[in-house]
Structure 1
């Protein structure tokens, strides 16, 4: 309900301010379960993708986004709740798996789910190796993955900036990656790795980022 109220208001306003270049929305299936797998440059990515996606998309979101105070905390809580985001305590491995299980439930219910295979945002702008949770979800839900390439979102609110800035943003929704039936008989670990690498290769092609070739490690004081 909150999404239906906020989206028609926030989307035109955000579009007028940042004028995002949005490409490939027709690659997102209109119905049925689908995963939107994106690179991660800024905490605003989880706002930009729902604003530009042709359908409602939910994300796993840091639990702190639901507990903030003041006006900013209220806006964050209302937005992430409204788009159906699932809170996760990133420092609790069991809670993280439980959150993936909730994401799987969302997909099996026919929803669209957004995920950042890098695990946390890139502080240096490079694209890091993907973690295989995205492939696990796709295989379990038997649904396609739409790779998403973001550019410029790191300039909306750079590290250390208190207020958002105007920046040129590009969002590209790539061709869906089908998993159903392609990996039957393959060991699950290998299938998850191959799917994840295919997703990251598609994102790299869209964004032109430098490839880090390693996993991104979250710093203790680093926001999502």
Structure 2
């Protein structure tokens, strides 16, 4: 992944003007899940370039075609079937078990980025890996009036903010399903709160959800019951 880190930096600081805050909140070592809000197809690359540590990001399988697919594979990104992909969660857990970082946009599809709902795959991953979760607010990659597929003009001011670390675990006597639901709620609340705090700090507003949306699907689907038993 070493070659792709400078590419991410160039995207953030030469193509766009990206203000990055909260890097000190990211642990210098150990497994980390970066959970970002999702307003544009550019969110993943921008988060990748802004992070103080390299990460493997979930990318929908449809993107792994042609030259772009080769680039994504070579840079270590993780393919995921958004209609349901337990294998993607297992691959991501292997990455975290090795002490590396995974990036997820747990809202599952582009919208207004307020994190009103997320998929519980991120909760399963956090519980089963013991990784630290870092909420990431990404602003400016799409603004109100722009289509979901719009490409931000070069030179635009973007904002990426890494929030306070969140650690999760199962409570005594709590079932696997109850743990995952509770942790999913905690992660969603932390991300939504951090997005709003970043809006207040930067003055950059979220876009309206003013374009046709893709169906709400999972970045990584909720695991089946035999996966849930791992946290029971």
TM range (shorter): 0.7 to 0.9
Of residues 69, 79, 87, the one that matches 1:87 is 79
- Deviation of 1:111 after TM superposition, in Å, equals 1.1
Work out whether 1:136 is the aligned partner of 2:124.
yes
Alpha-carbon separation, structure 1, partners of 2:172 and 2:110: 32
Q: CA deviation at 1:78?
A: 4.4
Unaligned runs of 5+ in 1: 69-73, 211-216
Q: Deviations over 1:164-210 (max 9, x none)?
A: 41322111111111114x62432222221222222222222222288
SS in 1 for 2:142: helix
Aligned twin of 2:45: 47
Aligned match for 2:135, one of 128, 132, 147:
147
- Which TM-score applies when normalising by structure 1? 0.79
Q: Residues of 2 paired with 1:21 and 1:129: CA distance?
A: 26
Conserved? CA contact 1:50–1:83, under 8 Å: no
Between the two proteins, the alignment pairs up a number of residues equal to: 201
After superposition, the CA RMSD in angstroms is 2.6
Residue 167 of structure 2 aligns to a residue in which SS?
A: coil
Q: Which runs of 5+ in 2 are unaligned?
A: 200-205, 207-212, 217-232
Q: Distance in 2 between matches of 1:154 and 1:23?
A: 19
Q: Give the alignment partner of residue 100 of structure 1, picking from 80, 89, 92.
A: 89
User: How far off is 1:126 after superposition?
Assistant: 4.2
Alignment equivalent of 2:99, drawn from 110, 125, 138: 110
Cα distance in structure 2, aligned partners of 1:97 and 1:34: 19
Which residue is equivalent to 2:215? 219
